[in-house]
Structure 1
């Protein structure tokens, strides 16, 4: 293999960043550790990379402070590899790459808060059914850190692009983005049917990339009686490779719904969503099927 040229002395921060993560395996390792894959053998299985290459890339990422190495076994010594704060700061880069790929490689270049039913993006998201949601905490609109998965038989996570308490808070051109409008309607529909979800054994959580204070203003205005969770740091988005689009310079979640059981297994995926009120009914049906 040709010797890799170091860019560390280049007078450009992009070049210096690429010196750390410019190899495709390194970014894929960051992607998979964000998804909760932390051990060498599991990473090798996910990536299909040789042990030699994986060892080299893990060493590079640890030396660069992107990953930490934490022993989980003494004899022989084996390690978990986890994202450091420096590594987690790469999540917006990963999401931007995914968005670019969905929009320009797999798509037609149009900014959308949804996708076509038969798209590769839709297939990727629907393939989350049966997978496990990694353990993580998100700040809620009430200021508390919360597990997205509640201690009830099921949790409905409805992910929405953005909803604001005042009309002038929306980004310019919001209404012209296919699939972007309707977030307040969605939240209010879940509010109005919350008793049905509770009776069926489900907790409802709304998720967007908005700040907690923005979510709190919406919750107070609309009288929402369930938590809204902020994925502003894109931890959940990266962990599940959820689809995004960019508006006003911010990566925002496309509209989708996950029904997750107490063991963190995703039991149902609704994506794309074209009828908001119907999607709420479908989420309730999925919960009732699971608990019935």
Structure 2
């Protein structure tokens, strides 16, 4: 048995490590945040023995990080979903990913750009052929909650961006590769009639607050929704690349083209030529059957 110092009893880091500090426990949480909430799906994604997986799920349920919900009778089967306490760990998971992308998989540079051969690029392109989870619904600039995929469109062009300026607010910190968000929104706005004519939806997503996004959308007269992922639930579900701007985690610029069945058909990342990327997204989405 590992001996603990007396100070560990009141240390938040030590206490948290006792709940989620195990390798497999963190990966179980990663997969549940991605929408794999059933036992067989978790075992398949993780390549984990049923015994070890059962132990980790039992521990997380005991600590009220997860809740078991029945989804089938005879035999009874359960889904494992994050509680409010568990959802509080999502920023921790995304921060760990961001730290590793920068300091372990990268060279330590703080940038809004991405290495086309890096881990973040690999994760984004691995999304092609996978389904976007039904949850989470995110707050939109109209005040409602919305899926990231428009329910009535032939396809959805979902573009993630770091942060726009806020009308009347202070300028954003200057991080290489982060500039261009206002331009990107304006280009999608200007191309909106062509997207609409093709039966396509456009949705932007950032980690800015709903109020910041609403102020910007109103000032720019945007005809499409902006969605706020300020709680990082979509970032965790899709393992999206991020970077730190001040104390905030920001999404790196990317574009996903998702069909009506919620399957990602194309991924554009990294995005360095914004005007060309908007036109490419329109062409790829319009070409979907």
Q: Is the structural similarity TM-score above 0.5?
A: yes
The equivalent of 1:170 in structure 2 is: 171
Q: Contact conserved, 1:7 with 1:19, CA < 8 A, in 2?
A: no
Distance in 2 between the 1:162 and 1:95 partners? Answer: 17
Give the deviation of 1:122 after TM superposition.
Answer: 0.8
Partner of residue 279, structure 1: 277
Instruction: Report the more deviating stretch, 110-119 or 97-106.
Output: 110-119
Contact 1:35/1:239 (<8 A) preserved: yes
Moved over 6 A (4+): 4-9
Instruction: State how far apart, in whole Å, the 1-side matches of 2:118 and 2:246 are.
Output: 25
Counterparts of 1:7-22 in structure 2, within 5 Å, are: 10-22=9-21
Q: In 2, distance between residues paired with 1:44 and 1:5?
A: 32
- In structure 2, the residue matched to 1:246 is 244
Give the direction of change, closer, same or farther, for the CA distance of 1:57–1:7 in structure 2 (3 Å limit).
farther
Aligned pair count reads 286
Gaps of 5+ in 1: none
User: What residue number does 1:144 align with?
Assistant: 144
CA distance in 2, matches of 1:214, 1:168: 9
Instruction: Tell me the distance in 1 between the aligned counterparts of 2:41 and 2:3.
Output: 29
Q: Structure 1 residues 7, 164: CA separation in 2 closer, same or farther (over 3 Å shift)? A: farther
Q: CA deviation at 1:187?
A: 0.1
Q: Note the C-alpha offset of 1:120.
A: 2.7
Q: TM-score, normalised by structure 2?
A: 0.95
- For the aligned residues, what is the CA RMSD? 1.6
1:6, 1:19 within 8 Å by CA — same for their partners in 2?
A: no
Q: Deviations along 1:166-205, whole A, 9 cap, x unmatched?
A: 3753333x2xx22100000000000000011111111100
**Superposed displacement of residue 74, structure 1:** 2.1
Give TM-score scaled by structure 1 length.
0.94
